[in-house]
Amino acid sequence: MKLAYFQGGSALAVAVALSFGGQAAAQATNAPAASAPHSIDELVVTAQKREQSLQDVPIVVTSVNAQQLQDAGVRDIKDLTVVTPGLTVTTTSSSAITTARIRGIGTVGDNVGLESSVGVVIDEVYRPRNGVAFSDLGELDRVEVLKGPQGTLFGKNTTAGVINVITKRPEFTFGANSEATFGNLNTFGFSTSVTGPLIEDKLAGRLFVAGRHRDGYYERVGRDTNDQNYYTGRGQLLWRPSADVDVNFAADYTKRHEACCGAVQLINGPTAPLVLALAPGGIANPPDIHNLRDYGNRNDVKDIEDKGAQAIVNWDTHALGNAKLTSVTAYRDWLQKGGGDVDWTGADILYSPKLGSGDVGFTEFKTFTQEFRLAGSTDKLNWLVGAFYSDEKLKLHVRTVTYGNQFESYLSGLLAAAGGLPTFEGHPNNGTAYAPGAGQNDTYDQHERGFALFTNENYKITDALELTVGLRYTWEKKDLATFWNNTDNAIGCATAIARFGAIGRTLGGAYPALCATSSNPLFGQIAHNNQHKKENELTGTAKLSYRFSPEVLAYASYAHGYKAGGFNLDRIAPGAQSVAGQAATPVLDTSFAQELVDSYEVGVKNTLLDRTLLLNATVFYQEYKDFQLNAFNGLVFTVASVPKVISKGVDADFLWFTPVEGLSLNGGATYAETYYPTSTPAVLGARLPGSRLSLAPLWSISGAGTYEHPIGENLVGRFALNAKYVSSYNTGSDLNPVKTQKGFTLVNARIGIGPQDKKWQAELWAQNLFDKRYKQVAFDSVFQTGSYDAFMGLPRTYGVTVRYTY
């Protein structure tokens, strides 16, 4: 995206802001860019679908306000990791393949047939996968991270927790601000927002637009990868036809055009000499993960388009004890298309076609959701009943395995390494058995419909003792139509069977490449496969809380959660079968079971030191049944239902408005033993039983400090530091020791200056200040047995941001 385009968009947004200002000049006031609470009592959350003090809610909640988010540089859910203990967010082969984990529990996002264990809800609208929610969050009021199952009020697929995002709504007082950012890696970004009345006391609006660009941090010949290049906009109208009714309409649109994602060599196995022979200098030799060099030779550009509209209606009925009826209606359309290198080497072995080449792969979600809630209260009881409907259409076009110009030469090398077996030379199909540009071409068309009824009641047994009971009954139906196709009728595998089948022996590393599921002719012969799945589940919670004093609340809770089953959206065939006269038989039933969890918590919330210190701690025990484990073996994704997974430990949080004027400190720690019991079957080999899950650090500790101090008569300096430490963990689902990441600490820092009225502010900032290099996810190199690659985290970035309030 060119700089001139950004400047033009910024100028347009400023013009809109000034037009708002003209209509509301008589009411204009300078609104600060962000606000922060100054006492514990000001901390408000909506974890139970109603506004409550954080210290009154018997749930583990990390609530981060707008100022804290700004200080930490949070723009998307991945940035939240530095401010939230126990939260890990990773990205792999695409920015859309983003996975959130809480207390070590999450669902690998590369296989969209699995729904996320951590739900992401933005302005009361559930997003179907974590990656679909990976975008600029815009103007934020706060973000709440709810830990543990939240299946009663936030629905299915929240077995590990919820990231609840609340953006700013339109206001009836004029306010506008703009922001510009410049940094290393040719970073440039802008955002402009404006809010104010359109019809006095009846109609208010808010408009936010932003665009951001950053060069890729992986060096690659051609275009560097892992860049950032997008623009986004969100418009809202708040209509108050009467004192009892308000309606908030919102529509948003985001467009991304980014090269993603690069990977580095972690370990070079026995296939490395062959790769280097085909492409001298085509891999890092020896590997060096600190040198962010991506050797891929194919275009990794992907386009993502995310758009949607929603309406939230609140009506104070004046009936049933002034009950409030809420309706949340939303439609969203999300599409990613594009290609990329698949083997991440300089050799032209495998790829996915690039944009503009015609038959590119894509993933598309079209979702409609409708929720109704009726909530009221009496002196003793806060009650809520509701209904939820979802209609999700998922379409996946897989072109991941397309043969490159050197694929057949690579096979010949593998055959030679398998014991001097004959190659394709001299065969009539030599050079055309695996024709460049041919390969897998599959489509998955899935339709999900779900319906739920739910209720949540808070009953005050005494002034100090309160009981919360919630129930949700969910019906779920999924229909999947699968279309398997090989553009060349898988002639390569047929040729290999004819040439080598009589040998009747295992071909070592050559077999997976010769007759992998992607080149298996039996899939093409089946062509069309239909599957259907129905489920229903009762979930719920019971919580008992006791307030010993205005300063101390203790609670105990139980929750039962549910994550839907589904279908593995990949080809499945027995991987151990060698070429001995036939291809492996396709598996037609790709379904997997629903995942269930039972969770127990005991906690205490303390508000100390004249209500300036928050100190909360919770002990938790979670037991998962049929945990959905998704793994990549270098060839395909496989899903296994692990009978049991245990997660137990302690969560602790604190926030302190210190006696030092302008200084506040906050942070927390999560100690989580998240592991497979020793009785676990060896689903992915012998490594699982008794081991911790992947991406499940034992310790996760975050801390932050902010300090404001006058500089002279009119200026104020602001200093912010955020840090996150995680202990060592394995980054691979199969827990291969080579995929282990040692413990590390990330630090973000920000220094700002501006007038006391916050009319403007200039900041110097750095993310990952000490340039820590760390593995997000390590994986088996594609068709390179014994080799391993890794997706790395963002290195140090730094720059300056200038904000102006109109």
Distance of CA 142 to the CA centre of its chain: 18
Residue carrying the six token digits 């390590």? 778
Tokens of 96: 């859309």
Domain assignment of residue 719, yes or no: yes
Instruction: Identify whether 286 is preceded by a cis peptide bond (ω within 30 of 0).
Output: yes
Characterize the bridge pairing of strands 301-316 and 264-267.
unpaired
- In one letter, which amino acid is 115? E
Tally the domains of the chain. 1
Tokens of 670: 């999560």
Long-range CB contacts (within 8 A, 24+) of 704-709: 704/68, 704/71, 704/72, 704/83, 704/665, 704/666, 704/667, 705/663, 705/664, 705/665, 705/666, 706/67, 706/68, 706/71, 706/663, 706/664, 707/660, 707/662, 707/663, 707/664, 708/662, 709/662
Domain assignment of residue 232, yes or no: yes
Q: Which helix (H) or strand (E) holds 11?
A: helix 3-23
Domain assignment of residue 608, yes or no: yes
Q: Do 81 and 91 meet the contact criterion of CB atoms below 8 Å apart? A: no
Residue 148 binned pLDDT confidence (cut-offs 50, 70, 90): very high
Determine the Cα angle at 88 with ends 84 and 92, to 5°. 145
pLDDT value of position 49: 87
Q: Do 728 and 742 meet the contact criterion of CB atoms below 8 Å apart? A: yes
Tokens of 619: 């002990």
Domain assignment of residue 770, yes or no: yes
**H helix runs in 34-116, sequence order:** 66-72
Residue 500 binned pLDDT confidence (cut-offs 50, 70, 90): low
Mean pLDDT of 739-765: 96
Residue carrying the six token digits 């039962």? 560
Domain assignment of residue 129, yes or no: yes
Neighbours of 551 (CB within 10 A): 16
- In one letter, which amino acid is 49? K
Closest by alpha carbon to 510, among 408, 438, 440?
Answer: 408
Q: Computed over its alpha carbons, how large is the radius of gyration of the chain?
A: 27
pLDDT value of position 691: 94
**Averaged confidence pLDDT in the chain:** 89
Q: Do 99 and 618 meet the contact criterion of CB atoms below 8 Å apart? A: no
Question: Under 8 Å CB-to-CB from 11, ≥6 apart: which residues?
Answer: none
Q: Rounded distance, CA 205 to CA 169, Å?
A: 8
Residue 1 binned pLDDT confidence (cut-offs 50, 70, 90): very low
Characterize the bridge pairing of strands 301-316 and 324-338.
antiparallel
Domain assignment of residue 386, yes or no: yes
Q: Which of 212-221, 502-511, 751-760, 793-802 has the lowest mean pLDDT?
A: 502-511
pLDDT tens readout for residues 384-427: 999 999 999 999 998 888 999 998 888 888 877 766 555 666 55
pLDDT tens readout for residues 607-664: 999 999 999 999 999 999 999 998 777 677 888 899 999 999 999 999 999 999 999 9
pLDDT value of position 344: 94
pLDDT tens readout for residues 270-305: 999 999 999 999 999 999 999 999 999 998 999 999
Query: Residue 305's beta-bridge partner residues?
Result: 255, 335
Write the CA distances from 641 to 62, 565, 625, 648, 741, integer angstroms: 30, 10, 8, 20, 25
Residue 773 reports pLDDT greater than 50: yes
Closest by alpha carbon to 391, among 306, 475, 311?
Answer: 475
Q: Do 625 and 644 meet the contact criterion of CB atoms below 8 Å apart? A: yes
Q: Rounded distance, CA 448 to CA 60, Å?
A: 31
Residue 501 reports pLDDT greater than 80: no
Q: Where are the beta strands (DSSP E) in 200-289?
A: 203-214, 228-242, 245-259, 264-267
Residue carrying the six token digits 């179907």? 128
Residue 117 binned pLDDT confidence (cut-offs 50, 70, 90): very high
Query: Residue 501's beta-bridge partner residues?
Result: none
pLDDT value of position 752: 96
Characterize the bridge pairing of strands 203-214 and 740-741.
unpaired
Q: CB-side exposure of 123: number of CA atoms within 13 Å?
A: 25
Q: Do 256 and 213 meet the contact criterion of CB atoms below 8 Å apart? A: no
Q: Rounded distance, CA 459 to CA 505, Å?
A: 70
Tell me the residue range of the domain where 109 lies: 3-401+439-485+527-805
Domain assignment of residue 429, yes or no: no
Q: Rounded distance, CA 411 to CA 709, Å?
A: 66
Domain assignment of residue 662, yes or no: yes
Mean pLDDT of 599-609: 97
List the CATH number of the domain containing 786: 2.40.170.20
Percent of the chain with pLDDT over 70: 90
